Structures are given as C-alpha cells and as structure tokens.
C-alpha cells in the first residue's frame, strides 16, 4: 500500500472511532433525558461505527500497512433537543461521507484500484446512513413539541439492533 493511502486510511480509522465515541456520548444524553429507545438506537450506531473503524483497520493490515492509532477527540455531551441531536448526527454523517469521498480521491490519485473497490462498500453505507438519519430528522420535525409523538418514536427506535454486516 502506498504511504499516502496508508496515511489516509489511518485518518479514517480515527474518524470512525470518533464517530463511535460521539454516538456513545449521544446514548448517554438520551439516557439522561429518559429516552431509552433513542439511547438503544445510538448504542447500535456505536457498534456500527466501531465495525467500520475495525474494517478499515483490518484492511490496512491485509494490504501490508501499519495501523497507527491517534488520540480521539472529545465529543459534545449535551444537546438542547432530540431534534438538534439528530440534526448534528446528519451533519456528522455528511462530513463522514466527504471523508470517504476524499479517500476515494486518494485511491484514484495513487491508482490503488483495490482500495477503490474496498471503499465502494463505504459509499453505499454512507448513502444508507444519511437516508436513515434524514428520515428521523424529518419525523422529529413533524413531531415538534408533541410528547406523545416523541414517545412513539422512542418506542420505534428501541427496536433497532446492530447486525454485523456481511461484506
């Protein structure tokens, strides 16, 4: 693996680990405001982001590189409303999509077709991530200040379970 590709992948491992840390902070926030279903949804998201980070970590080693772990930034801990939390998630997922797109740009620049093929899975994953979070944002906007709507959504989000993707 070319050094610039290895460096880019290592940055992405850190970004994925930060994502899991951010969602863990959000899980704690939702627990603190008695929205256990939202917290359950976040716990599944934590596991998903850890899976993404480890998938890239393992790929670095499969290609003969060395994974280099850096400090993970401290995430926010509190949001004013569930809607603002999910709008923050949507913005974060859009940022991650940009990071994945940048990784593909590096792969194309250094003509690493194996890396490009590996990253195609992440592009599809990010489309799904943004769509799912976008739908929750839309529903929270529709709910507004309706407590019964919020509790209904909380019950629905509690059903999410992380399932290890087949790749």
Residue 164 maps to a domain:
no
Give the model's pLDDT for residue 26: 97
Residue numbers of the domain that contains 48: 3-157
pLDDT in tens, 3-33: 999 999 999 999 999 999 999 999 999 999 9
C-alpha dihedral sign at 63, 68, 49, 104: negative
Q: What is the CATH number of the domain that holds 61?
A: 1.20.1260.10
For residue 107, being part of any structural domain is answered with yes
Residue 110 lies in a domain: yes
Q: Which of 110, 107, 129, 126 is nearest to 118 (CA)?
A: 107
Who contacts 127 (Cβ-Cβ below 8 Å, separation ≥6)?
Answer: none
End-to-end CA distance of the chain: 21
Q: How many domains does the chain fold into? A: 1
Q: Could you report the per-residue pLDDT of 107-128, keeping only the tens digit for each?
A: 999 999 999 999 999 999 999 9
**Model-wide pTM > 0.85:** yes
C-alpha–C-alpha distance, residues 130 and 35, integer Å: 22
Q: Provide the pLDDT for residue 167.
A: 66
Answer yes or no: is 114 within a domain.
Answer: yes
What distances in angstroms separate CA 15 from CA 4, 56, 60, 85, 165, one per listed residue?
Answer: 17, 11, 15, 19, 19
- Specify if 166 maps to a domain: no
């Amino acid at each position: 693996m070319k050094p610039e590709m290895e460096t880019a992948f290592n940055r992405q491992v850190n970004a994925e680990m930060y994502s899991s840390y951010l969602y863990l902070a959000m899980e704690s926030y939702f627990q603190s405001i008695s929205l256990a279903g939202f917290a359950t949804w976040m716990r599944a998201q934590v596991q998903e982001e850890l899976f993404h980070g480890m998938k890239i970590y393992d790929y670095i080693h499969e290609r003969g590189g060395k994974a280099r772990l850096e400090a993970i930034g401290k995430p926010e801990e509190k949001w004013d409303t569930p809607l603002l939390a999910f709008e923050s998630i949507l913005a974060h997922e859009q940022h991650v999509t940009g990071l994945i797109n940048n990784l593909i740009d590096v792969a194309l620049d250094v003509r690493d077709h194996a890396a490009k093929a590996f990253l195609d899975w992440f592009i599809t994953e990010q489309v799904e991530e943004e769509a799912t979070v976008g739908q929750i944002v839309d529903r929270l906007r529709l709910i507004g200040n309706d407590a019964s709507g919020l509790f209904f959504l909380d019950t629905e989000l509690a059903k999410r379970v992380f399932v290890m993707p087949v790749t």
